[in-house]
Chains A and B, each alone.
Chain A
Amino acid sequence: MNRFVYLPDVVSLQLNDNRCTGCGMCAIVCPHGVMTLENGRALIADRDACMECGACARNCPADAIAVQAGVGCAQAVINAALGRTGKACCTIDRE
């Protein structure tokens, strides 16, 4: 299977090692295997695969992750620039 990777060195994902308790939740919820556990601490193993969905940050009980979550959708960016609100891009087939 082809590995999909978007643009390099662009995502806003940040991990604060000092706060991490190594619970492993971030590694469970990440849909792209960005986070792993090493020596009982979380580690950003594949930064460029991050899609900024925000699941890891929302589920980190120690508040150790920060990311500007959003939907990577050109139409939404256009809508926002034009001041249109409401329906962004989520298509019905995302399940």
Chain B
Amino acid sequence: MNIWNISTPAGPVPRVSTRLNLADRLGMCRVRWGIGRMSYTVEPGLYAVGEPDQNSEVLVTANYRMTFDHVRSALSNLDAWILVLDTNGINVWCAAGKGTFGTKELLSRIEASGLTLVINHRRLIVPQLGAVGIAAHHVKELSGFRVLYGPIEARDINEYLANGLRASGSMRRKTFSVRERAALIPMELLPALKYMAVIAVTLTLLAGLMGSGSFMSDVLRFGKTTIASLLLAVAAGAVLVPLLLPYLPGRSFSMKGFWMGLATALAVFLFVLKTTGSVMIVVPWIVLIPALSSFLAMNFTGSSTYTSLSGVRREMRIAVPLQAAASILGVILWFGTMLTERGRVL
């Protein structure tokens, strides 16, 4: 990000480019995949794009670098101010939910930045989702600034400004398109794979110890099924459910995950039936895959843009006991399979 200062009555204000360079894009990519786990922030305060003056609009945003980059890149060929609130590097919506993108922080950032010296109007454009944390009437009362809620997505800012600060209906609706859902998959996938690795190692070692053959041959034989089944459960719950969300039956996410898992389990069953004919080894997985998939899908509620807390609580009251029961049953079946395998050889 290239920065150079412009001078204002409130002192120098950094001016940022509206073009994203290669480093910015790489940064976005790294954050998406959780690489480095560094906090990806910008310094809170006032910024300029283009050649803003006393009459230019002020856009309020969070100090999460990716959000900031989206906003500035949406402002190409425009002259505007950007007021960045300190949200601890968290995006607008989440920070508004936590209260850090809130009335208090906005008021103190207006003060600290000397904004009233820089502009001679009293309007602020706050992204609509910021309304979760900001009370426009309180801001007006306490600072004299009128909060105008702008579009949800940064990419609509240009049109919003061109329309004389009017947002169309579609700019005001939070969507959950397949692209948005796909972008969230890495965040679902990485933790899921970590847990599955632990389960896979445990079960495979147990299989080696309990099986009828030598330790290594049992590890190989059962390890393959275990790892393949767990990976498929993750694929169903953390990849396919997000992608196919609106097309899966049921309204609760755990239900969608269950059906996706059941379909996956049946596919595994048919595949094993066709190739090896010995289906005993996959029987526990017919129960375990849907249970795991259902659980992973349920966790996707946190990334979705339309689930309510009351709804999630209701869904969990029914789903969690069932998932737990199915998991216990699956594990019992798994031990049962191991013991029968052993009995057959003895």
The reply to whether A68 and B175 form a contact with Cβ atoms under 8 Å apart is no
The reply to whether B314 and A31 form a contact with Cβ atoms under 8 Å apart is no
The reply to whether A4 and B176 form a contact with Cβ atoms under 8 Å apart is yes
Mask, A82-95, CB within 8 Å of B = 1, is: 00000011111111
Complex Cα distance A70/B176, Å? Answer: 19
Tell me if B249 is interfacial: C-beta within 8 Å of chain A.
Answer: no
A55 CB contacts on chain B under 8 angstroms = 128-129, 131-132
Q: A75-B302, A90-B90 are contacts. A7–B311 as well, Cβ < 8 Å?
A: yes
A7 CB contacts on chain B under 8 angstroms = 251-252, 308, 311, 314-315
Tell me if A45 is interfacial: C-beta within 8 Å of chain B.
Answer: no
Measured between C-beta atoms, what is the minimum distance from B204 to chain A in Å?
27
The reply to whether A93 and B308 form a contact with Cβ atoms under 8 Å apart is no
Tell me if B306 is interfacial: C-beta within 8 Å of chain A.
Answer: yes
Q: A93-B183, A94-B93 are contacts. A2–B246 as well, Cβ < 8 Å?
A: yes
Tell me if B152 is interfacial: C-beta within 8 Å of chain A.
Answer: yes
The reply to whether B311 and A6 form a contact with Cβ atoms under 8 Å apart is yes
Interchain CB contact (< 8 A) of B312 among A2, A25, A49, A74: A74
Measured between C-beta atoms, what is the minimum distance from B346 to chain A in Å?
42
Interchain CB contact (< 8 A) of A12 among B129, B247, B310: B310
Measured between C-beta atoms, what is the minimum distance from B171 to chain A in Å?
11
A89 CB contacts on chain B under 8 angstroms = 299, 302-303
The reply to whether A58 and B149 form a contact with Cβ atoms under 8 Å apart is no
Complex Cα distance A2/B248, Å? Answer: 12
B149 CB contacts on chain A under 8 angstroms = 28-29
The reply to whether A59 and B131 form a contact with Cβ atoms under 8 Å apart is yes
Task: Report how many residues on chain B are interfacial, defined by Cβ distance under 8 Å.
Answer: 62
The reply to whether A71 and B129 form a contact with Cβ atoms under 8 Å apart is no
Q: A55-B131, A72-B301 are contacts. A33–B308 as well, Cβ < 8 Å?
A: no
The reply to whether B308 and A73 form a contact with Cβ atoms under 8 Å apart is no
| Residue ID in chain A nearest B103 by CB atoms | A58
Tell me if A11 is interfacial: C-beta within 8 Å of chain B.
Answer: yes
The reply to whether A94 and B94 form a contact with Cβ atoms under 8 Å apart is yes
The reply to whether A91 and B184 form a contact with Cβ atoms under 8 Å apart is yes
Q: A29-B149, A71-B97, A73-B307 are contacts. A91–B131 as well, Cβ < 8 Å?
A: no
Mask, B292-319, CB within 8 Å of A = 1, is: 0000001101111111111111111000
Can you list 11 A-B pairs, Cβ within 8 angstroms, ordered by A? A4-B246, A4-B305, A5-B251, A31-B174, A32-B306, A55-B128, A58-B133, A68-B309, A70-B308, A73-B307, A90-B302
Q: A7-B252, A76-B302 are in contact. List 19 more A-B contacts (CB 8 A).
A: A4-B246, A4-B304, A4-B306, A7-B314, A31-B129, A32-B174, A51-B308, A52-B308, A53-B129, A68-B310, A71-B97, A72-B310, A73-B307, A75-B302, A91-B184, A91-B303, A92-B187, A94-B93, A95-B91
